[in-house]
Chains A and B, each alone.
Chain A
Amino acid sequence: MAAPKSDKEATRDGAKKKREGTVDADAVVAAVAAAKEGLKECPECGSKCLICDYGKAEIFCEDCGLIIRENIVDLGPEWRAFDSEQKSKRARTGAPMTYRMHDKGLSTVVSSGSGLSPGEYKLKKWQQRTHVANTTERSFIFALSEIDRMASALRLPVNIREAASMLYRKAMKKRLIRGRSIEGITSALLYISCRQYGVPRTLEELRDVSRVGQKEISRAYRFLLRELDLKVSPASPVDFVPRFCSLLNLDGEIRSHAVEIIKKATEAELTNGRGPIGIAAAAIYIAAILSGEHRTQKEVSDVTGVTEVTIRNRYKELSEQLEIPELLEV
């Protein structure tokens, strides 16, 4: 990697490259920095090409030259590093803050890096114990670990875990956890977060990893929706298609075909009052067969959690209306 130029050179080069159609990393950083200062466009000419010059401590418009802000503060480190080893030696910060830990990841722990003497080990254990102050904190830690456990079992990405953890904090602040099962609440929160992020998990899948039954999760879910004033749109069959298709080893073409079928069905108002998972299952079943990739109703049933009867019924409804040729039962 070439030695970094001075900030001014970098940003000007970056801007030039931008004009020429390529993107330079420094220019992107400069643009983001400008946005962070609260600026999006030049007040005089409305251009979106703003340059942050930390060398002169200025933000100026690249098109008309207006200096928009002076004496900006550079919040970066005062050192420079020319490779990753140097960087790790010089950096003083740790991991980013996260809501998934009860202390938001901000506390310090005794490391067991190069082995501990018995005394050091004792210190570490006692530090961990005094860490947790009271029952509330303890149950909070338990709840967060539950969220983590279930999210891992469901292979959910970090952002959904963070969302669920944040919701739990909100619920705690509003004292909604009192007298209710923590497992029920955490399961419901994960369910909500998945829905909010457009990658819903079926209630069955939640129940499989949860310590409580479906009824308890549903109750907690409705309770939380009301108390936290959350708006969750009804799960659309389309949201389930990518995941089910990949679990059935069906490729992108079948996936888009299934989505098409669902869209047509929704327009024809066939989906009214029907469970979205059943529709998704039937659409996938149809799309698979039409592409020659046979999946038995049992296979689809196992993956989606709906019964074969439901798949059969939905498939009949869809094929009737959408004029898909009668297919043989596999």
Chain B
Amino acid sequence: MTKLNIKVENVVANARIADELDLNYIESRLEDAVFTKKKFPGLVYRTKEPKSAFLIFRSGKVVCTGSKTEEGVRRVMDTLSADLRGIGVEVVEHPEFRVQNIVASANVGRELNLGAIVVGLELEGMEYEPEVFPGLVYRIAEPKSAILIFSSGRLVITGGKTLEDCEKSVDVLLDKLRQIGLL
């Protein structure tokens, strides 16, 4: 199966860095930390180098987004840990994290007729409302993921926990497209 230049654009992971965190203290001491208690119970901390965003919660759990590789997540997590320890907050030095979602992009290489796909695949899990959004949303059960299909032929795959998941999802889609002769 051709890989169609599947490129990982974003990795979302979460980790537990402490048993409890004082978000108000962190916001006051940490630059680039934003905490709007009324709007959202998590503190938002954005780093510039490497570029990423963290949601830090009072429970000591964090969500990390923005990295393009697992290695990137590791590095940026360690940076977060260092930053927090730098302002006197006790956290795990090298937090163990778990990847929850990978967002990847791909290109089929040619234009696709979305209306024809809807008619041809006639399946559940297909959302196409050109009035609302130009992309077709195709949800796959196994692996559990969603693929945004655009008329340019570009794809956005999301929901997978590994790169293999993303590739498998794309394969499922391509298979279906070949079945109805649209590829």
**What is the CA–CA distance of A276 and B132 in the complex, to the nearest angstrom?**
10
Contacts A269-B111, A269-B113 given; does A276 touch B118 at CB 8 Å = no
B142 at interface, CB cutoff 8 A: no
Tell me if B130 and A234 are in contact (CB < 8 A): yes
Chain A hits for B134, CB < 8 A: 273-275
Chain B hits for A225, CB < 8 A: 127
Chain A hits for B114, CB < 8 A: 272-273
B86 at interface, CB cutoff 8 A: no
B115 at interface, CB cutoff 8 A: yes
A233 at interface, CB cutoff 8 A: yes
Tell me if B115 and A218 are in contact (CB < 8 A): no
Residues from 105 to 156 in B contacting A, C-beta threshold 8 Å: 111-115, 118-119, 122, 127-132, 134-135, 150-152
Chain A hits for B135, CB < 8 A: 273
Tell me if A275 and B130 are in contact (CB < 8 A): yes
**What is the CA–CA distance of A74 and B16 in the complex, to the nearest angstrom?**
78
Interface size on A, residues (CB 8 A): 17
**What is the CA–CA distance of A269 and B182 in the complex, to the nearest angstrom?**
14
Tell me if B132 and A234 are in contact (CB < 8 A): no
Tell me if B131 and A272 are in contact (CB < 8 A): no
Tell me if B118 and A234 are in contact (CB < 8 A): yes
Chain B hits for A202, CB < 8 A: 131
Chain A hits for B127, CB < 8 A: 222, 225
Please name the residue on chain B nearest to A214 by beta carbon.
B132
Instruction: Determine how close the nearest CB of chain B comes to the CB of A54; give it in whole angstroms.
Output: 46
A101 at interface, CB cutoff 8 A: no
Contact among B118, B131, B152 with A233 in the assembled complex (CB-CB below 8 Å): B118
Tell me if B132 and A218 are in contact (CB < 8 A): yes
Tier of interface size on chain B? 10 to 19
Tell me if A272 and B132 are in contact (CB < 8 A): no
**What is the CA–CA distance of A274 and B129 in the complex, to the nearest angstrom?**
10
Tell me if A234 and B129 are in contact (CB < 8 A): yes
Tell me if B132 and A203 are in contact (CB < 8 A): yes
**What is the CA–CA distance of A275 and B131 in the complex, to the nearest angstrom?**
5
Contact among B122, B130, B132 with A273 in the assembled complex (CB-CB below 8 Å): B130
Instruction: Determine how close the nearest CB of chain B comes to the CB of A329; give it in whole angstroms.
Output: 26
Chain B hits for A218, CB < 8 A: 129, 132
Please name the residue on chain B nearest to A237 by beta carbon.
B130
**What is the CA–CA distance of A203 and B133 in the complex, to the nearest angstrom?**
13
Instruction: Determine how close the nearest CB of chain B comes to the CB of A283; give it in whole angstroms.
Output: 15
Chain A hits for B130, CB < 8 A: 234-235, 273-276
Chain B hits for A231, CB < 8 A: 122
A277 at interface, CB cutoff 8 A: yes
**What is the CA–CA distance of A234 and B128 in the complex, to the nearest angstrom?**
7
**What is the CA–CA distance of A273 and B130 in the complex, to the nearest angstrom?**
6
**What is the CA–CA distance of A274 and B135 in the complex, to the nearest angstrom?**
10
The 8 A CB mask of A257-280 against B (1 = contact, 0 = none) is 000000000000101111111000
Chain B hits for A275, CB < 8 A: 130-131, 134
Instruction: Determine how close the nearest CB of chain B comes to the CB of A207; give it in whole angstroms.
Output: 12
Chain A hits for B151, CB < 8 A: 272-273
**What is the CA–CA distance of A225 and B129 in the complex, to the nearest angstrom?**
12
Tell me if A272 and B128 are in contact (CB < 8 A): no
Q: Which of A269, A272, A275 has the largest count of B CB atoms less than 10 A from its CB?
A: A272
Tell me if B118 and A272 are in contact (CB < 8 A): no
Instruction: Determine how close the nearest CB of chain A comes to the CB of B151; give it in whole angstroms.
Output: 3
Tell me if A273 and B152 are in contact (CB < 8 A): yes
Q: Which of B119, B129, B151 has the largest count of A CB atoms less than 10 A from its CB?
A: B129
Please name the residue on chain A nearest to B129 by beta carbon.
A234
Q: Which of A202, A274, A275, A277 has the largest count of B CB atoms less than 10 A from its CB?
A: A275
Tell me if B150 and A277 are in contact (CB < 8 A): no
Instruction: Determine how close the nearest CB of chain B comes to the CB of A180; give it in whole angstroms.
Output: 19
Chain B hits for A273, CB < 8 A: 114, 130, 134-135, 150-152
Tell me if B113 and A203 are in contact (CB < 8 A): no
Chain B hits for A272, CB < 8 A: 111-115, 151
Instruction: Determine how close the nearest CB of chain B comes to the CB of A263; give it in whole angstroms.
Output: 13
Residues from 193 to 226 in A contacting B, C-beta threshold 8 Å: 202-203, 218, 222, 225
Instruction: Determine how close the nearest CB of chain A comes to the CB of B145; give it in whole angstroms.
Output: 17
Instruction: Determine how close the nearest CB of chain B comes to the CB of A216; give it in whole angstroms.
Output: 13
Given contacts A218-B129, A235-B130, A272-B114, 4 further A-B contacts (CB under 8 A): A203-B131, A234-B129, A272-B112, A273-B151
29 contacts between A and B (CB under 8 A): A203-B131, A203-B132, A218-B129, A218-B132, A225-B127, A231-B122, A233-B118, A233-B119, A234-B128, A234-B129, A235-B130, A235-B131, A269-B113, A272-B112, A272-B113, A272-B114, A272-B115, A272-B151, A273-B130, A273-B135, A273-B150, A273-B151, A274-B130, A274-B134, A275-B130, A275-B134, A276-B130, A276-B131, A277-B131
